[in-house]
């Protein structure tokens, strides 16, 4: 059986969540990376949506990570389920918007706010693994790609400050949940909540195992490195790193 195809934008958190879930469930796939804008043209042509990632093949056309998570859970081998019997499903459902939307939006805005001014640092991640002509477009037209990301992410000073506050608030809430010594967010075993949290927190803890395209931490601005250092020092930040270290295959 041919592997699935996952159409992605290289640095995307949703792309990373798709990779993490597919790797966890040991589902073979090939990644089809495209630069910003081009990725939406490809997904529109192949799946009727401008959103990414899109998972295609084997009779599937999955256009959101929530649908991908649900599909993989339905078809999971017993030992690979991320919502095993006994899971607090009410808490798991509440965790999805808290981590995937609130935390993921905050960390994405913070990272791009610090990184987009650095053309030499960001040209590579924005074009990593994409077709040659798309890479050339990013290299020559970086200001336009950076402007598009600023517009899409609403990178105003007010929203960036709010993103930092949201990061601190969510991480503090996770600190509290882990204060009783539990090894995972919903108890003794890894669940979808842990995976979604770790991926959403990734731009604030910079795990070595991140499978998307990001620059080396040492090339990022001091202000972003300070955010990463402070977040890593939290119980919640350490948990995100541990989920990556123990459950994520090395970056593809």
Check for a shared fold between 4-80 and 89-247: no
Q: What is the pLDDT of residue 2?
A: 86
Strand partners, 60: 57
pLDDT greater than 70 at residue 67: yes
Look up the pTM and report it.
0.96
Q: How confident is the model at residue 82 (pLDDT cuts 50, 70, 90)?
A: very high
Q: What is the pLDDT of residue 194?
A: 98
Indicate the fold that domain 89-247 takes in CATH. Glutathione S-transferase Yfyf (Class Pi); Chain A, domain 2 (1.20.1050)
- The string of DSSP codes covering 173-222 is HHHHHHTT--SBTTBSS--HHHHHHHHHHHHHH--TT--S----GGGS-H
Share of the chain above pLDDT 90, in %: 96
Q: What is the pLDDT of residue 250?
A: 52
Q: What is the pLDDT of residue 252?
A: 39
pLDDT greater than 50 at residue 251: no
Q: What is the pLDDT of residue 199?
A: 98
What is the CATH architecture of 4-80?
3-Layer(aba) Sandwich (3.40)
What are the residue boundaries of the structural domains of the chain, listed by start?
A: 4-80, 89-247
3-state secondary structure of 33: strand
Q: What is the pLDDT of residues 16-39, one digit of tens each?
A: 999 999 999 999 999 999 999 999
Task: Note whether 220 and 114 are within 8 A (CB).
Answer: yes
């Amino acid at each position: 059986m041919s592997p699935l195809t996952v159409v992605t934008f290289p640095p995307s958190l949703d792309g990373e969540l798709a990779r993490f879930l597919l790797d966890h469930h040991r589902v073979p796939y090939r990644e089809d990376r495209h630069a910003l804008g081009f990725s939406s043209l490809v997904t529109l042509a192949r799946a009727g949506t401008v959103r990414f990632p899109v998972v295609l093949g084997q009779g599937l056309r999955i256009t959101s990570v929530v649908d991908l998570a649900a599909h993989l859970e339905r078809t999971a081998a017993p030992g690979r389920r991320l919502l095993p019997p006994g899971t607090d499903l009410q808490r798991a459902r509440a965790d999805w918007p808290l981590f995937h939307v609130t935390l993921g939006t905050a960390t994405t805005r913070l990272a791009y706010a610090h990184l987009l001014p650095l053309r030499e640092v960001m040209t590579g991640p924005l074009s990593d693994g994409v077709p040659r002509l798309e890479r050339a477009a990013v290299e020559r037209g970086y200001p336009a790609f950076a402007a598009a990301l600023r517009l899409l992410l609403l990178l105003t000073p007010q929203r960036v400050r709010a993103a930092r506050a949201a990061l601190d608030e969510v991480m503090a809430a996770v600190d509290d949940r882990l204060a009783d010594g539990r090894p995972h967010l919903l108890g003794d075993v890894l669940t979808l909540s842990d995976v979604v949290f770790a991926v959403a927190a990734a731009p604030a803890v910079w795990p070595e195992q991140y499978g998307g395209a990001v620059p080396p931490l040492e090339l990022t601005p001091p202000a972003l490195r300070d955010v990463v250092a402070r977040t890593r020092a939290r119980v919640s930040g350490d948990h995100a790193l541990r989920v990556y270290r123990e459950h994520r295959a090395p970056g593809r």
